[in-house]
């Protein structure tokens, strides 16, 4: 069944490199010429054909995709990601501006000079030396280290910086600690929530409050649909109990042996009466007498103790 499902994954051939790839490796497009909603050029070839610092190159490709060229958004992504800006920009178009086409473009006459200025100032912002100088590890809420690796880059995407990847992975791992996440669909929903959380933070830092609000709305929807609200947390604390035996075993392995809480209340006449009744039952069954409570068991009041002992003597005398 699994092999058959894998073979049914939709694919198409890139018109540029002539390689057959899964459709997820092609950007979404609004161009009505492409009935499947995907560009005929794969992502790798698209990025090779676009020079982010050549505004005509960018505009021509966006016109081909029938996506808008929004000057303020493009300058934001170009300033932040440099040569990797185009993929980030298209991702935002697909998620937040999906209903906009190229006719909704908005840019000024001096956009070319603005882009040239960014190119001269930031050409080295995302080079390998800068990339290697970024944060390599981070600690989660319980103090465990999360180290940047190639696997994490593959998991989250090469378009993110090391800091962003570590931040998303930290959020992801902490959510796994508090919520039941088991199915691939649930994990994918959590990943998307992490990405929208990061995107909302980016936009807020950049002062784009309207865009930050849209990203946060998507984030909250994923949190709600995925069952990641505070009320959905794993019930592991002492007040709410642990929901499953598997969680009990996990806690035992994690914490080791847990001593029984000490008895604070004094033993009363009811406790001794119960012991007296048990002794009576054992005597009927010829099983002897119940052993006395442990030495550290709190004692009853002296008067009650004398009354109970008298009851026991009278019972044994019968």
**Tens digit of each residue's pLDDT (9 = 90 or more) over 87-96:** 888 888 877 7
pLDDT-based confidence at 250, cuts 50/70/90? low
Q: What is the pLDDT of residues 255-264, one digit of tens each?
A: 555 555 565 5
Nearest to 95 by CA among 242, 273, 216: 216
Judge whether residue 159 has pLDDT over 80: no
Judge whether residue 102 has pLDDT over 60: yes
Nearest to 212 by CA among 87, 80, 96, 91: 96
- Give the model's pLDDT for residue 211: 81
pTM (2 decimals)? 0.42
pLDDT-based confidence at 13, cuts 50/70/90? very high
Judge whether residue 206 has pLDDT over 80: no
């Amino acid at each position: 069944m699994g092999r058959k499902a894998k073979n049914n994954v939709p694919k198409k051939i890139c018109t540029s490199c002539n390689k057959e790839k899964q459709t997820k490796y092609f950007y979404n497009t609004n161009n009505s010429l492409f009935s499947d909603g995907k560009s005929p050029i794969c992502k790798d070839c698209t990025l090779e054909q676009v020079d982010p610092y050549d505004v005509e190159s960018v505009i021509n490709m966006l016109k081909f995709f029938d996506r808008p060229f929004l000057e303020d958004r493009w300058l934001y992504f170009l300033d932040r990601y440099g040569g990797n800006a185009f993929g980030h920009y298209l991702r935002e178009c697909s998620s937040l501006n999906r209903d906009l086409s190229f006719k909704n473009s908005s840019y000024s006459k001096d956009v070319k000079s603005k882009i040239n200025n960014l190119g001269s100032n930031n050409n080295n912002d995302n080079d390998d030396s800068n990339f290697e100088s970024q944060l390599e590890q981070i600690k989660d809420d319980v103090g465990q280290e999360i180290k940047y690796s190639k696997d994490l880059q593959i998991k989250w995407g090469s378009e993110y910086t090391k800091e962003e990847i570590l931040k998303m992975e930290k959020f992801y791992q902490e959510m796994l600690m508090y919520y039941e996440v088991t199915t691939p669909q649930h994990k994918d929903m959590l990943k998307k929530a992490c990405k929208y959380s990061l995107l909302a933070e980016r936009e807020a830092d950049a002062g784009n409050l309207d865009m930050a609000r849209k990203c946060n709305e998507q984030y909250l929807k994923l949190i709600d649909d995925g069952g990641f609200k505070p009320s959905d947390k794993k019930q592991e604390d002492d007040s709410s109990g642990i929901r499953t035996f598997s969680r009990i075993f996990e806690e035992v392995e994690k914490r080791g042996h847990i001593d029984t809480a000490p008895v604070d209340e004094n033993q009363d006449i009811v406790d001794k009466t119960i012991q007296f009744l048990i002794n009576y039952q054992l005597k009927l069954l010829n099983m002897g007498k119940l052993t006395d409570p442990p030495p550290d068991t709190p004692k009853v009041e002296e008067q009650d103790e004398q009354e109970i002992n008298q009851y026991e003597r009278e019972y044994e005398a019968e």
